[in-house]
Amino acid sequence: MACSVVAAIVQFWMTWFTSQDTFELRLAFGGVGGEFYLSTVLMLAFYVPLPEKWRWDCWRYPILLIAASTFFNSVSFWNQIKRGTVAIPWGTMLNGSGDAGGDMNQLSDLGWSDMRIVQTYVGLGQVCLLILIGFYGFQFLRTANFRRS
């Protein structure tokens, strides 16, 4: 219920109080950013008990595997870009690097430098990784204390 209320408030705010440029910036950023934060949310959701009608006991393992694979692939890719061994992915997946409609192209058109793009995605990966380490560490300690009792 709380997630629904927060989502409704965010949607209201984004609809009525966000400029077109800000919306386009968030949309372009969220394309690649989603690889980080959505996979992080899915990995955190592994421990969330769902109501009886929405049980996902057997599905949470493949989802964890897919989310972890996506997350660590993205973190590795952006760290390679930071080291200079791989280039920023300009263009789109369907039309190739010549297409100016890609997320990185849009961020660049909105004033982001190449360095800012790289630092932002590397930083997002680091924040998500810290959240995962903290959450899984907490779950480990909680389980270890429960077993001792």
- In a domain, residue 60? The reply is yes
User: With contact defined as beta carbons under 8 Å apart, do 99 and 92 qualify?
Assistant: yes
- In a domain, residue 13? The reply is no
DSSP state of 93: T
- In a domain, residue 124? The reply is yes
- In a domain, residue 84? The reply is yes
pTM of the model: 0.83
- In a domain, residue 31? The reply is yes
pLDDT tens, position by position, 73-112: 999 999 999 999 999 999 877 777 777 778 899 999 989 9
The percent of residues above 70 in pLDDT, for the chain, comes to 97
pLDDT tens, position by position, 19-77: 888 888 888 899 899 999 999 999 999 888 777 887 788 888 999 999 999 999 999 99
User: With contact defined as beta carbons under 8 Å apart, do 104 and 87 qualify?
Assistant: no
Q: Total domain count for the chain?
A: 1
pLDDT at 148 (0 to 100): 66
